[in-house]
Each structure stands twice: as structure tokens, then as C-alpha cells.
Amino acid sequence: MKRSIGISARTLVTIIAAIPLASPAHAIALTDAEALDEQCEGCETIIVTGTANNYVTATIDTATKTDTPLIDIPQTVSVITREQLDDQAHHSLADVLRYVPGTTVGQGEGNRDQITLRGQNTTADFFVDGVRDDVQYYRGLYNIERVEILKGPYALIFGRGGGGGILNRVQKSPVVNKSFAASQASLNSFGAWDVSADLNAPLTDSLAVRLNATYESFDNHRDFVGGERYALNPYIAARLGANWKFGLSYEYVHDDRVTDRGVPSISTAAGQPNRPIPGYDSQFFGVPGINRTTLEAHIAKLRLDGQLNDNLNFTGSILYGDYDKLYENVFANGAATTQNGTVALDAYSDPTTRQNFIAQGNLIWEVSTGPLAHKMLFGIEYGDQKTANQRLGRIFVPGNSFSLSNPVFPSVAFTTPTRNTESEVEFFSAYGQNQISLSDHFDVVVGLRYDHFEITGTDFIPNPDRPFARTDDKLSPRMGLIWKPVENASVYASYSQSFLPRAGDQFVSLTATQQNLAPEKFTNREIGAKWDIRPDLNVTLALFQLDRTNATTPDPANPLATINIGKTRTRGVELALTGHITPDWQVSTGYSWQDGHLRGNEGVALGQVPKHQISLWNRYDLSERLGLGMGVVHQSSQFAAIRTSPTITRLPGFTRVDAAMYFDISEAVQLQANIENLFDTNYFSDAHNVNNITPGAPVNGRVTVKVRF
């Protein structure tokens, strides 16, 4: 049985307003300078944040806060361009990351994006245009030009967190010189559908506005799952004189969906790992009408870029976000007793409000001292983040035991708070970086960041109230050496550090014990090579070791609690090839090998770190009007949580094949069909803990119609 959340009158107005623009259609990538050449001759973006060539991106400014070729960045960077996002019909960050080796998608308790990078699990290391975007929610792709995954600690550029890396979304920005409109409609075989529009209008020769909008109706292979999201993002940008650019963006997001935490595990032979229970891929282990998450977000972003003189530039950003989120869920809280036995349930309600204010400014100074050329970065960042969070207990009637042989959903009521906190995080950072060209063949990157991180708050559950506070002052270094034997190839070595305060990702609690503990520390050592075989084809290789100290992790026996585990180590190899093999054949492929474990006890493997991951995506154009796509994702087995006992649940490995076809009906209209899991592989895609495991979707298709004007 399927259930979907109803469409409100407000939503219907949104859909109707979009129909004239989105008559069967899709948003087409139109902001990167080289991508625009094909579709919008003479257009110019007012704010440019990198250049792309189909699946290949040549430069980004995220990794160093300076416009730097990827070949000169001494760490691993994976970039998914708008064209690849469209070709693969990605609709979520989870879709994107399944094709990025070395990155594992987490279930996120069915209410948020959650990923593991180099063995480090995070719900907060997300950024938009280089500015922190750390609230727990699902991020859309409708207004995004590309997705950047930066591996290894990046505290110098991004501050605390980012132990295994960060994910940055680059927003579409306005274009001058030409008006254009693009739109999309798509429908998949589960009944999910969406419409979106992308409109750009120059108002003068130095002022333009861009509007992106979307509506999505959710559905999938799981019983009772559904929901909706709609979002609107107007963005206005202008040139201020010859050397300055200004941009102001506002995004409104409404998200209302069923929370689904998948299926539990079941025990196998004594002393062996548990496994996800088979045969219940569609069974809902929540309670219809209770499992629900809602988000109302208002996100405003201001950006200013300018040239102070011939060799001194300024960039600055201010972001204000107001987020109101509710998360209510019932979930499996234990392994199934037998294949047709019972499963224990638990539940809670978790309302959260957050206000983020983050401002940063950077000076970029290019100067020579004798034979040395310097590109120096000096920056400061200030942030104030206020959070109010509750967690409400529950009462089950008649009880919290769910029968697999006679599945009847219990009644659930939420009662008094088991957690009730308010907190404020204030941070100030100052950082400097120098990219030094020693010669035609050697470059050095060195930098240091100072962070002052202060959290104050109150826990209202005790009587009397318990205030809590913690202040940390940390230095985070970064060093890299780059050797370029030829102009289009580099070999590098790098060292970087990051830290995570004891307040954690979301600042919702700080116990009396935790507030006396030092922050967690991440240290990354990496060597690698990059080769631009051609401007439209590159290959990268990296070997890394990431050490974490003062580490904590969710307790597999009680996922609502954390345990101190001391030191961990992740070693790995990553290999990627991206670009045009021939003029008609594009690929994006990669392989990673990772080994994550507790230092001093290699038998204790880290959770959600498969040893082997392989991804391969191909697009081949048979003619100017017809193209085909084919993709393969392979992931070896992984533990659902840190293996503190022999019975910790293990997710089996899997291989999934995807396919696509593209047909240009005319210059303005394109028809696209995507098939996921072509051979109907039965697999488990991700997990949150040992008893919340997501069954992968069976074979399913999506048809998309794109129109541009």
C-alpha cells in the first residue's frame, strides 16, 4: 500500500504558475562560461566561479579561495558538472555521491543529507558557494551549477569540521547580454514527478536577474512514503563600475515528506555479523501519519567581488539563514527475532530552529619577490549560530513490539521533552595562505588558520536549569608541494589538519563530561598526481592517510548515545578519469580502496567504509540528435556501524547498472529516458545504524522532457 502527503492549495498555485514555463521541460545548465558558448553565444556571467568543459572542470575557487586550476591544487577534488547532473538525472545529493568513489552515502535517519568521507561521518560539512550550510536537511539541485567534493581536512579554508572533506554546491548565477529560459518536467515509474524552470533576464548591460524554481512530488518503492518540496530562488547581480561585481540571492525552501528509516537486521550464525532482513524491502517500520519531517527555510546570500588595484582583489560573502524543522519518526530499534518474528520499535519527536549569520572577507594579493611569484590570501570570517532543539519522549499503545507475521501499526503519542536545549555558537577566524611559484616546475602552498570557537547554552531538563559552555582556540595548518614536470601534469604532497569541537555537528547538547574534553583532531597526509591528457580529459591519483584523535562515534548498542573510541586511521587510494575519450564519448569513472579501523586494533573496522568502490558513467552520442548513456556502480560490503562486536550488521556488496537515452526532438526540445538498476539487482544501499538499513530501489525508469527558449 502506498500513501502520499496531500498537495496544499499553496502548492497548486505554485504548480499552476510554473506550467507556462515548464510545459514539459527541465532546467538546463547555463552559467559556466564554456558551457554557455554552445547555448548562449555572447552571454557573460556576472559572477563567475569556475570554468567547465562538459564533464571536466578546469578551475575552481573553492579549494583555495583563489581562482586556481585543479592541476595546481594539492588535494583530491571531485567535480560533478551540471551536464553530468542532467545526463544522469540526479535529483538528490545521494544520487550524485553514489558515483563518487571514496564517498559513502548515509541514510540520515530519513530526514537529512549525511555522508562519510574518508571514514569520517558528517551531517554538517556542507557549503554553498564556499559558505557554511550546516543545517540538517535535504539539499536540492534545481539551482546548482555543479557539485564539488573536496577530500581531506580543509580547516584552513572552511574552519572547524570537514575532517574527511567537505561538499560544496555552486549556485547558478545571472547572465548579462542575453535573455533565456529553460524548463523541465519528469516522471518516474514509482509515480514521483517534478517540474522546474530557469529564467534569466538582463535588465541593463550591467544588471541581470535569474530565477530558478522547482516543485517535486516524492514517491518510491517503499510503502507509505511520499511528500513534496517546492523552492524558489531569485538572484540579482550587477557590475558596479569596471572592476566590481555584486550579487544578492534569496532562496525559499518548503519540504514536507515521510521519514523512512528502512528495515532492521536479523541475526545469522552465532558470532557472525547480523545482516539486513531479506524479504521486507517495501515494509514500512514507522507509523503512517506519524513519520514526517518538515522544513521551512529562508536563505539570503550577498556576494561582492572587486579589484582594488592591478594586483589586489577582494571577495566577500554574507549569508543569513532561518530554518524551522520538525522531525517525527517511529523506527526499528532492534534486530528481528526471527524471519517472521517481532521487531522492537522506538520513536521521538525532534523540533529544531536555527538562525545562521556568517560573514567572510578575503584579500587576494598577487606579487613577485625576485624570482618568486606569490598569490597570497588574507581572510577573516565571523559567524553567529543560534539553535533551539527539543526531543520528546513517546508512549506506544498497545506496545512497541511490531509483528512481522501480523503487521499492525501501534498508536504513538509524543509526551514530555527528554532534551530541551538552547545554544549559541559564535566563532571568529583569521587565516592566511600563500601559493608560491618557485619556478616553472615547482609550486608551494602554505597556510595557517586561527579559529576562536565559543558555545554557550542552557539545558532546561534538569531542575534547576544547567548552563553549559566551552571555548576553543585552534590553529590549523596546511602545506602542499607541487612538482610539474610538464605544464599539463603535476605530482604533489600535502599535509592538512582540522578539528571538531565537542559541541558536535549540530550544537544541540554538551554534557558536563564533554565540555571538559579537547576537540577531535583530524590530520591528513596525501601524495598524488594529476594529468590533463587534453583540456577535455584528465586523470588523477591519490594515496592518503587520515588520522583522527579524541574520536567519538554513535554507540552501536544505543545509537542515541556516543562513545569515545580514541584514535582511528583511514588509509586509501583514489583513482579517477574524467572527460572526452573521443569527441562523441564522455566518461566519468573512478575507483577507491579504503581501510578504516581503530588505531592499535585493526580488527575494529570503521562503519560505512567499504574497501572497494567503482563507478563508471559513459555518454556516447551516436549522432547530433541521439545519445546513449550507461553506468555501473560497485560497492563492496561494509559494516553499518563501527565493529565493536562480532555481530555488528554487515551490508553485503552490490553492483548496479544504470542506462540512459537522449533524443533531440528539435533544437529547443529534448527527450531523455533514464533507467536505474537495469538488471533489478536486490541490494541494500545505505544505513544509519545496525537496525536502520535502506533497501535499494528495484529497476525503475524516469522520463524527462526539456525545453529551452
pLDDT at residue 154, as a whole number: 85
DSSP states of 456-498: EEEE-SSSS-EEEEEEEEEEEEEEEEEEEEETTEEEEEEEEEE
Three cell numbers, residue 483: 612538482
pLDDT at residue 14, as a whole number: 35
SS3 38: helix
pLDDT at residue 51, as a whole number: 65
Residues 36 and 24: their CA atoms lie apart, in Å, by: 22
SS3 348: strand
Q: Cβ(243)–Cβ(228) under 8 Å?
A: no
The neighbouring-strand residues paired with 445 are 435, 480
Closest CA to 374 of 321, 443, 465: 443
Residue 102: DSSP 8-state? T
Estimate to the nearest angstrom the gap between the alpha carbon of 411 and the chain centroid: 35
Rounded to whole angstroms, what are the CA distances from 322 to 296, 300, 301, 385?
A: 8, 9, 12, 10
- CATH fold of 9-410+418-708 reads Maltoporin; Chain A (2.40.170)
Please, what are the averages of pLDDT over each run of 10 residues along the chain (709 residues)?
A: 41 33 29 40 63 85 93 95 96 95 93 95 94 95 96 91 93 93 97 97 95 97 97 97 94 98 91 94 96 98 96 97 97 94 96 97 96 97 96 94 94 94 96 96 97 94 91 96 97 96 80 79 96 96 95 76 84 97 97 95 92 97 97 97 93 98 96 98 96 97 96
pLDDT at residue 7, as a whole number: 39
Task: State the chain's mean pLDDT as an integer.
Answer: 91
pTM of the model: 0.91
SS3 280: coil
pLDDT at residue 269, as a whole number: 79
pLDDT at residue 48, as a whole number: 57
Residue 229: DSSP 8-state? E
Secondary element (H or E) of residue 14: helix 9-22
- Detail the DSSP E strand segments found in 220-311: 227-240, 244-257, 265-266, 275-276, 292-309
Residues 405 and 332: their CA atoms lie apart, in Å, by: 16
Contacts of 118 (CB under 8 A, 6+ apart): 102, 151, 152, 163, 164, 165, 524, 544, 546, 570, 572, 594, 596
- Domain boundaries, given as residue ranges, for the chain: 9-410+418-708
Residues 107 and 684: their CA atoms lie apart, in Å, by: 11
Q: 592-598 contacts: CB < 8 A, separation 24 or more?
A: 592/101, 592/102, 594/102, 594/118, 594/119, 594/570, 595/570, 595/571, 596/118, 596/119, 596/568, 596/569, 596/570, 596/571, 597/568, 597/569, 598/565, 598/566, 598/567, 598/568, 598/642
